[in-house]
Amino acid sequence: MTTQNNCLIPIITTKEDFKHFVDDFYTKHKQPRCFGICRAELSRLNNQSVISVNFPFLNFQQNFGSFAVFATAAKLESFENEIIIDIDAAFVFRAFCLYYPFIIEELEKLKVEFEEYSEAIINFQNLCNKFQTDPYSIKNADILFSDSVIHQYIGRTHKNIQIVFELLRHISDIYKGENEYYKFQLVGFVNDEKIHSLQIAYAKLYALSMGYAKLRSLNLDGIFGLLPNLAWSGNKPYELEYLRQNEITLKIDGEFPTIDFIDKIPRYLMQIVPPADNIRILDTAKTRFGAFLAAGYTQMPGASYVNFNAGALGACMNEGRISSSVIVGNGTDIGGGASILGVLSGGNTTPITIGENCLLGANSVTGISLGDGCIIDAGISVLAGSIVKISPQEAQKIQSSNPSFIPNTNGYYKGHELSGLHGIHFRITSQDSCLIAFQSARFIALNKELH
């Protein structure tokens, strides 16, 4: 539960005082695992309901001083696990008062670098002093201090402070009741437990896509029940019921939105700027928010797809399907139409991992984990219950690379017995269509020029 009060906050003038402030804060409160300020899009049917959010920056197990600032600026007296609080105008100015020594330091550097900003410190001091005198008289404070050059300059070192400056540009909208379609919120959680709010669901998906949390490491229980099914036009969500109710008016006025897709989860590129320049996604519809893509990843159009809580840990060519909770290793090539089974449907409950430098042939189906250097020929299905024949000679070779593997006397194995083993090549014999396996003698290498 979260509680607030409304008193003013004094200006912290030195970094030493700021350290004391943070130390004192954490004698009374727990450190959050994750927190950030988001823009929350509101329902057009009920503007008290949030239907999607977007984080310009998310703090994950870091920047605890900023959380102390945000929680104090929001006047949070107590919180348990999930933290969701609307940001008002006073929050912005309280944060300035608490961040004061860091802002002054950055403005001093700015003044040295750019002569035209010599008055920036005085303007900022006046803004803080005015807030201390009359916090609700600066409804148009964006006029006083809203230069985006200053914001971006400060953001080089302090992204959380930059966000507060960006909020200043929206200060007239932040005042309660002045915008019916969006608001800004402070969101965070202390423990990684079952999700109870849409905002925390988005925060966890963001953490996965940015690589702050490892794939399959966060509790996503209940996520689908919290996310509404929305019609997305660009980056703007619409409820289907709103479109039904207003279809005639919107179409007569020429304002009916172009609907790109309908889903509970937005697309990866609607929320994430890829962390590496050599990530290529040739069809934005093919990757869901909550997927993780490492440097060198290439996703071709057509049958390729990556679900949330899944992805590639390194350079990878993907022309197939990486289903939910699937992790693919560096150097692996997923052929056209190849499918790796996930855990969302079909009864499969064991997440699949594909090792490094593997090759999944076109239209193959993989239902077991693979170690490094494995090959599945085109058109083959290797499932947990598939019967695989391995000759005694090849079983010995496989054992030499996988000491835990124990050859069977009859030479037949179920797919799950081979799960996670390295260097195995799966093939269908042309004579009797038998699924066989043997030690792979082929090294898989991606074209470096493409990654």
Residues acting as catalytic residues: 319
In the block, tokens 């996930």 appear at 342
Give the Å distances, CA to CA, from 262 to 232, 238, 242, 268: 6, 9, 14, 14
Residue in 273, 98, 58 with CA at minimum distance from that of residue 186: 58
User: In 190-332, where do the E strands start and end?
Assistant: 230-233, 236-239, 261-263, 280-281, 292-293, 297-299, 305-306, 311-312, 316-318, 321-322, 327-328
Output the six-digit token pair for 257: 């939105």
Residue in 290, 268, 264, 262 with CA at minimum distance from that of residue 281: 268
The full length of the chain comes to 451
Write the CB contacts of 178 (distance below 8 Å, at least 6 apart in sequence): 172
Element (H, E) at 92: helix 89-113
Residue type, 193: E
Planar angle of CA 260, 266, 270, nearest 5 degrees? 85
For 313, phi and psi rounded to 5 degrees?
-90, 0
- 275-285 burial by CB neighbour count: b if 16+ within 10 A, else e? eeeebbbeeee
Tell me the CB-side half-sphere exposure of residue 421, using CA atoms within 13 A.
28
State the Cα–Cα distance between residues 279 and 295, nearest whole angstrom. Answer: 6
Residue type, 398: I
Give the distance, in angstroms, between the CA of residue 214 and the centroid of all CA atoms in the same chain. Answer: 11
Output the six-digit token pair for 402: 């996988």
In the block, tokens 């909020």 appear at 167
Cα torsion at 73, 77, 82, 87 (round to 10°)? -30
Output the six-digit token pair for 149: 């050059």
State the Cα–Cα distance between residues 363 and 387, nearest whole angstrom. Answer: 19
